[in-house]
A and B are shown apart, each in its own frame.
Chain A
Amino acid sequence: MAGHILLFGVVLLVAQGLFMQPTWSGFRNLFAFTGADGGSIQFWMGVAMVLTGLARFGGLIVNGARKHVTPRIRQFSAGVGCLIWFGIVYGFASSDVLSTWLAIYPLFGVNELVNIHRAAHDEGETRNGRTG
């Protein structure tokens, strides 16, 4: 999931003029309050997603190195991921263009929910003294 977010951001940064396409009009409308044009919105969303992806990779590395404190890190990063994926789903949905996004991003969001549940389950077990 960290890789998905990171690559999504990279694609936004690389593919110039992507937000000008009708499929992405929902994203322009969503961030219209910033007063920025489509290109700027695309650029800053790309930057934000690359940074988030890198942060999630950092979280994964910490998760590999330490065992006991990380369920919260995992929950937080999966929560941020969930918001991002459902935000993307909203952006596409509000563009009123039905495309393959419907087969991909909603399931990513659900996957993040599963991750949150799993991490919270681990935290509950640790609190209960059942593991470690």
Chain B
Amino acid sequence: MAELAELLQSLPTPALIVFAAVLALIFGVRHLGLLQGLKAPAAASETKAQVAAVIVDPTALVAASAEVSGLAVAVTEGTVALKKHTAAMERQGERLDALADGMDKLRTELIRAAAKME
């Protein structure tokens, strides 16, 4: 103990003061940081909070599922209508082809009749 006191006395006074001040500053800053950390708001994790909200109140999730089911039905109906439309167009195409054939034949007959009249 006496040796320690001797050592402290042999050190320059300003050095001791600076040492004590820095030490106090270190512990002060540490204390401040700890306090602020304790008071810090919950870690910014919005996804976690939203998942927790859904677990607590699943109404929004149920409503969203219903919307998705409705959307699936609408898409299926749309597909059926499109298929029908395609079939109708196909039939129309066939009839147009037949009409064109008939007109070709008519033209041939007309040419033949005109030739006979001459």
Query: 8 A–B contact pairs at CB < 8 A?
Result: A32-B10, A90-B18, A94-B14, A123-B37, A124-B33, A126-B37, A128-B40, A130-B42
**Number of B residues whose C-beta is below 8 Å from A?**
26
Query: Which A residues lie within 8 Å of B10 (CB)?
Result: 32-33
Majority-rule SS of B interface residues: helix
A40 is an interface residue with CB less than 8 A from chain B: no
Residues of B bordering A, CB below 8 Å: 7, 10-12, 14-15, 18-19, 22-23, 25-26, 29-40, 42-43
Q: Complex Cα distance A86/B39, Å?
A: 30
> 6 closest Cβ contacts across the A-B interface?
A124-B37, A120-B33, A33-B10, A121-B37, A117-B33, A124-B38
Query: Which B residues lie within 8 Å of A29 (CB)?
Result: 12
Q: Is there an interface contact between B37 and A120, defined as CB atoms closer than 8 Å?
A: yes
Query: Which A residues lie within 8 Å of B14 (CB)?
Result: 90, 94
A45-53, A59-67, A75-83: which lies at the interface: A75-83
